[in-house]
């Protein structure tokens, strides 16, 4: 499993639920941990799921919801 971290401008549990819903649709994602207070998302996935794939999905949501999304370094 590969761990990928994102900084996401979540402001409520509704945002966290949307992020989880979006990422859970990707085959190979096994665990998603959202932290609204720290605005972080940690994803456990197999090697078939690239950070870029996840970022693309989250950016589409971010644009529609007016939220920031970035891959944490």
| CATH number where 62 lies | 3.30.70.100
* Nearest-angstrom CA–CA distance, 33 and 10: 13
Which pLDDT value is given to residue 15? 97
Q: What pLDDT is attached to residue 73?
A: 74
Range(s) of the domain holding residue 19: 10-66
Partners of 31 in the beta sheet? 44
Evaluate whether residue 30 is within a structural domain.
yes
| pTM assigned to the model | 0.94
Render pLDDT for 50-69 as a digit per residue (tens, 0 to 9). 999 999 999 999 999 999 99
Pairing of strands 69-71, 40-45: unpaired
Q: Which residues in the chain come in under a pLDDT of 70?
A: none
Looking at the 3D structure of the chain, how many domains does it have? Answer: 1
């Amino acid at each position: 499993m590969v761990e990928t971290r994102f900084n996401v401008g979540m402001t409520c549990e509704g945002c966290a639920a949307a992020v989880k819903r979006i990422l859970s649709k990707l085959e190979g994602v096994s665990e998603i941990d959202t932290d609204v207070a720290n605005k972080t998302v940690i994803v456990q996935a197999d090697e078939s799921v690239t950070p870029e794939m996840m970022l693309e999905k989250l950016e589409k949501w971010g644009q529609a919801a007016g939220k920031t999304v970035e891959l944490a370094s």
